[in-house]
Amino acid sequence: MSGIKTAILGAGSWGIAIANLLKKNSYDISMWEFDLEACGYLQKNRELPAKLPGIKIEKSILITNNLAEAIESADYVFCAIPAQYLRSALVRQPLLKTGAKPVYVNLAKGIEVGSLKRMSEVIGERVPVEIRSGICTLSGPSHAEEVARDIPTAVTVASDNIEIAEKVQNLFLTPNFRVYTTNDLVGVELAGSLKNVIALAAGMLDGLGLGDNTRGALITRGLAEIVRLGVKLGADPLTFSGLAGIGDLVTTCLSKHSRNRFVGDRIGRGKKLEDILSGMSMVAEGVETTKSARELALDNNIEMPITFEVYKTLFENKSPRRAISDLMGRDQKQEKWD
């Protein structure tokens, strides 16, 4: 597979981790950073200590502020851009040359506010019709901080076109990064997005000093409402039992690396959302996705009580302790997943 050119759009922690990972296979790698000053810093220092301390960017990886230069002749384009900024970044993308058919691989985990579109759908609106069916999403329990340090990781790549997913799978033939394939693009994207909402709630439990019983209940019932919405929107329910589902959900709810769990923890300790976010160098995707998840639940008449309580806590100043009390005080019911 030598001679393959891969473009990484986004030079944050995940973009850098994926760029270094793919470079292990001697591919031609370019990485685009939209901010000119940040790009200059990366070009000079070959590291991003605020997000990936101790990790150097491989010397042969091209870092550029020119989007056209980054994607020129690329066989694969990885989109490592936060969900709410992906559309605006792709609007800047120049038209692909006639005959060019790069595979686009989404790495973001979120649902666009307003349009309520998944990331593959956003990408699909910005690329030629003939390559839309091959758009992929790579998802699963995969914190950049650990991937960058070559800690064993397993993820899933999803595409409506399973042959394209297998091509992406084969890009990652490295000892410590294992990729599985699926054609359930809807399920993988929804699982990766909605688990961040539950991770916010898990952080709130930690901030309040609650215990393992509460966390176990939250993760289980959180998964139930993710499955309900996912199945309604066309996902395979078994997807939520896999790496992109329960694997990523548990990891994000428990991990010290989770930005969403961190935000929830600080809210549980009484901090204001705007103050928490202003002090972060990275994006907590679940905050905005909570808005989208609530809208999807309302539009599809799906019961998602945890999501609704997270929304009220984030955006309506409801106390997290009151939110837990209201969840615990709901009408008695059978444990069902539909």
pLDDT band at 1; cut points 50, 70, 90:
very low
Residue 52 DSSP class: S
Amino acid at 94: P
pLDDT tens digits along 2-26: 589 999 999 999 999 999 999 999 9
What is the overall mean pLDDT for the chain? 95
Model pTM? 0.95
Residue 91 pLDDT: 87
CATH of 5-183 among 3.40.50.720, 3.40.190.170, 2.102.10.10, 3.40.50.2300: 3.40.50.720
Mean pLDDT of 268-276: 96
**SS3 readout for 12-42:** CHHHHHHHHHHHCCCCEEEEECCCHHHHHHH
Residue 93 pLDDT: 83
195 is catalytic: yes
Mean pLDDT of 72-91: 94
Residue 2 pLDDT: 58
Q: Which residue has the tokens 């000079």?
A: 44
Assigned CATH topology for domain 186-328? N-(1-d-carboxylethyl)-l-norvaline Dehydrogenase; domain 2 (1.10.1040)
pLDDT tens digits along 86-141: 999 998 887 777 778 999 999 999 999 999 999 999 999 989 889 999 999 999 99
Rounded to the nearest angstrom, the gap between the alpha carbon of residue 273 and the centroid of all alpha carbons in its chain is: 20
Q: Per-residue pLDDT for 282 more than 90?
A: no
Amino acid at 97: K
pLDDT tens digits along 245-265: 999 999 999 999 999 999 999
Query: How many other CB atoms are there within 10 angstroms of residue 33's CB atom?
Result: 25
- Please, what is the Cα angle at 55 between 50 and 61, to 5 degrees? 110
DSSP 102-135: PEEEE----B-TTT--BHHHHHHTTS-GGGGGG-
Q: Residue 181's beta-bridge partner residues?
A: 157
Residue 337 pLDDT: 73
Q: Residue 139's beta-bridge partner residues?
A: 156
CA pair distance 191, 179, nearest whole angstrom: 17
Q: Per-residue pLDDT for 176 more than 60?
A: yes
Mean pLDDT of 300-328: 97
CA pair distance 316, 89, nearest whole angstrom: 30
Q: Which residue among the candidates 51, 109, 167, 195 is catalytic per the annotation?
A: 195
CA pair distance 337, 251, nearest whole angstrom: 22
Q: Per-residue pLDDT for 36 more than 70?
A: yes
Q: Where are the domains of the chain?
A: 5-183, 186-328
